[in-house]
Structure 1
Amino acid sequence: MNMKIDTKALVNRKVGLDRRNLLKMTGTGMAALSVGIAASGQAVAQSQVNLSDTWDKTFAKSDKVGHRKVTFKNRYGIILAADLYQPKNASGRLAAIAVSGPFGAVKEQASGLYAQTMAERGFVTLAFDPSYTGESSGETRNMASPDVNTEDFSAAVDFLGLQPNVDRDRIGAIGICGFSGMALTAATSDSRIKAVATASMYDMSRSMSRSHKDGYTMEQRQKVIDYISQQRWVDAESGKYALGYHEVPIDEKGNIVKGQRVLPETLPANPDPVLVAFFNYYKTPRGFHPKGINSTTAWTATTPMSFFSFPMYANIEMISPRPVLLVAGENAHSRYYSEDVYKVASDPKELVIVPNTDHVDLYDQMDKIPFDRLTSFFKQHLA
């Protein structure tokens, strides 16, 4: 039986019902609707990504590689913006590497430097902005998701594998700082990632839920959860997403420190050396970029919620027999993350500790980043 459906009439009927229902709503119902409308409008506004060909990186452009800006979608329909680097005068199908990080940074910073340098060494590379960050789409802005951002790596593999000069059986990944955990997690469920390297690894789930070196007590962990949970009421009622530091600070009296930016505009007196290292990269011409969260603002205050319940690389044994290379600075405050992953990872694996190097040195210090070791690792395992 063939039926002709009057879709226009159906739409008009639905609009009429929606308007009548709207007139019935009062109080918190109207507030909730206004939040939904605002969120929907923002999402539509972010559905298109406009990219410029202007060189806007924190590092010099190489004359040894070709570069172009590209976009692609992840499995959730979010449009990711990226820089594709390709070695000049190369022929045949090449090995490729997806690169992202640090947490709160953009592709114009460390990940782009890694990508361009590895392209100089013969790989097709893709430095991408994670969902909700930089030039990539996704609402709410300045938000991170352990699930979605892990998927971003697999989406980058999708894109690379469709390039005519890429051998889709020879694709690897590099995660820097907080995106090391996402790269490792992606590899546990995506066997197309044939080799994974990390630099200055940070486990963001562990960091947010347990603090540095697992310093939170159980009481403090519960206090953070309570703060994030109550903040959701505030955000829902206001229709806005408050900002705050991704690792919720607790002061000496045991109170939550709210609304803190990732980095201050100026250094305090007698600052912690770790703060100084981050500040000297993100807040100075060395590494500042106006699109980077670490350079300019903060994450949404409720960002840690999903990280509490989503442990990174929980199935790390599933990466084997694909290899893992972990690179950390000898003096890095984050060194223990790489060492702990090395303990639980299956062979083949390698831990490289770079002498006289801190966490941030591995973002951009060309004399300290072991690019020769990274090159030999990927040439061996993406052969």
Structure 2
Amino acid sequence: MKIITAAVVLSCMLIGQTFAQKNQTNQKKMNATEQKEHYTFTLSDKVVRKKVSFKNRYGIVLSGDYYLPKNKENEKLPALAISGPFGAVKEQSSGLYANQMAEKGFAVIAFDPSYTGESGGEPRNIASSDINTEDFSAAVDFLGLQKNVDRDKIGIIGICGFGGFALNATAIDKRVKAVATTSMYDMPRVSSKGYYDKMTQEERDKILKEMSLQRWKDAEKGSPEYGNSPNPNVLKGDEPQFVKDYFDYYKTPRGFHERSVNSNQAWTKTNGFSLMNIPILAYIKEISPRPLLLIAGENAHSRYFSEDVYKMAAEPKELMIIPNAVHVDLYDKTDIIPFDKLESFFRTYLK
């Protein structure tokens, strides 16, 4: 298949759908008021869930769902912080993972990253190599203060783009005892170099110049402009398979959520400003001696990210390839996602 250039990548993944100011206002109202809850999965009858909030180091209030196994609310439990995919919300994949892992006996927080979903931060729908890494550490802060959590037994799961941020958070935050990723993306790498690192210097310069000039437009206007759709509203049929897969998750009842950037919103036109210039995996060897588990689909377009991280990381490390699976299969297909493996991994190393 013809490799997609970085310009197309950024239009597909980072610079989202035109997002009018009116829609921003509607979202703020939705975040501030009681709304009928919409989750893309069913809560287990063995699990309880409650809404929580906590601040990160920058003072941004993050919104999360705290999952606990029933009848164990007063026990000291191993705990997990989960977020992702990039552009998703806690009512999608991260919540599904939290639900499954709580059913297996873990205390779990699934959270919306800064500037997205129900979490705070203005303007809306921007990403940051630094702040999104910090969001994981803030979730660890939260877990360590819970009376039913053993703060010496805290791990992280990062999905898709938040797999990369999870690895970065684990490298710097020594409270995290083990980390696992599924369908991992290194967002700064793909933003700055394109898929398979095929971005040319000319393409990179063009994108950076456009974003640089956009800053003056935003400053003059007093608010950011939003770009094109991360995922098309209608498929023409000639899209790469991974774009069709994203559509099948984010744009259909399977995974659609009204607060998800990837379902019906957008990133700012300058969203790549941090991602394109602040790499996150320079210190990945410092995860060791804590263990690392990387899970990727055999047929996932993103598989190479996990394979490259596996080569870069120090022991103990493990790479698990799921036969026949594509990238989004590891978002929500509970018959494919290896939850038993995740349980045994964290049971072994959260000690």
- Match among 236, 246, 256 for residue 268 of structure 1: 236
Structure 1 residue aligned with 2:323: 355
Q: 2:59 — aligned with what?
A: 77
1:126 maps to 2:109: yes
* Amino acid corresponding to residue 138 of structure 2 in structure 1: A
State the one-letter code of the partner of 1:141.
R
Equivalent position amino acid for 1:89 in 2: N
Matched, 1:225 2:193: no
In the alignment, what sits opposite 1:186?
169
Alignment of 1:31-110 (within 5 A): 50=32, 52=34, 55-90=37-72, 92-110=75-93
Corresponding residue for residue 31 of structure 1 = none
Q: Secondary structure at the match of 1:299?
A: coil
Q: Does 1:212 align with 2:180?
A: no
Query: Which string of whole-angstrom CA distances, capped at 9 and with x for unpartnered residues, describes residues 324-343 of structure 1?
Result: 10000000000000000000
Contact 1:65–1:119 (8 Å) recurs in 2: yes
Letter in 2 for 1:365: K
Q: Does 1:290 align with 2:258?
A: yes
| Identical positions, percent | 59
CA gap 1:329/1:51 in 2 versus in 1, 3 angstroms: farther
Q: Could you tell me how far apart the structure 2 residues matched to 1:162 and 1:50 are?
A: 26
Q: In the aligned structure 1, how far is the partner of 2:92 from the partner of 2:31?
A: 19
Say whether the 8 Å CA contact 2:259–2:265 is kept in structure 1: no
Find the counterpart in structure 2 of residue 26 from structure 1. none
Matched, 1:339 2:307: yes
Q: Please tell me whether the aligned partners of residues 51 and 69 of structure 1 are also in contact (alpha carbons under 8 angstroms).
A: no
Answer yes or no: is 1:238 the counterpart of 2:206: no
Does structure 2 conserve the Cα–Cα contact (< 8 Å) formed by 1:53 and 1:68?
no
Distance 1:117 1:202 in 2: 22
Q: How does 1:141-220 map to 2 (within 5 A)?
A: 141-220=124-203
**Equivalents in 1 of 2:101, 2:338: separation in Å?**
11
- More displaced 10-residue stretch of structure 1: 307-316 or 339-348: 307-316
Query: How many Å apart are 1:272 and its aligned residue?
Result: 1.8
Is contact 1:49–1:137 with CA below 8 Å preserved after alignment? no
1:112 counterpart = 2:124 = no
Give the partner amino acid of 1:313.
L
Residue 146 of structure 1 and its aligned partner are, at CA, apart by: 1.0
Q: Distance in 1 between matches of 2:190 and 2:62?
A: 26
Q: Distance in 1 between matches of 2:60 and 2:254?
A: 30
Q: CA deviation at 1:293?
A: 0.3
Post-superposition Cα deviations, 1:41-93, rounded to whole Å, max 9, x if no partner, equal x9xx97x9647585421001110011100001011010000000001122531
Describe the superposition over 1:116-160 as per-residue Cα deviations: whole angstroms up to 9, x where unpaired: 100000100000000000000100101111111110000000000
Q: Do the aligned residues in 2 keep the contact of 1:277 with 1:360 (CA within 8 Å)?
A: yes
- 1:299 pairs with one of 259, 267, 272: 267
Q: CA deviation at 1:240?
A: 2.3
SS of 2:177's equivalent?
strand
Letter in 2 for 1:65: V
Q: Find the residue that maps to 1:125 and give its secondary structure.
A: strand
CA contact (8 A) 1:49 1:79 kept: no
- 1:284 and 1:222 map into 2 onto residues whose CA distance is 36
Q: Distance in 2 between matches of 1:73 and 1:49?
A: 16
2:96 and 2:125 map into 1 onto residues whose CA distance is: 22
Which structure has the larger Rg? 1
Residue 243 of structure 1 and its aligned partner are, at CA, apart by 1.2
Q: How many Å separate the matches in 2 of 1:84 and 1:52?
A: 18
Counterpart residue type for residue 191 of structure 1: K
Which ranges of structure 1 fall in alignment gaps of 5 or more residues?
1-41, 245-259
In the aligned structure 2, how far is the partner of 1:222 from the partner of 1:50?
40
Question: Across the two proteins, how many residue pairs are aligned to each other?
Answer: 327
Aligned mates of 2:246, 2:219 — CA distance in 1? 33
Instruction: Tell me which of the two structures has the higher relative contact order, counting C-alpha pairs closer than 8 angstroms and 6 or more residues apart.
Output: 2
**Cα distance, 1:354 vs structure 2:** 0.2
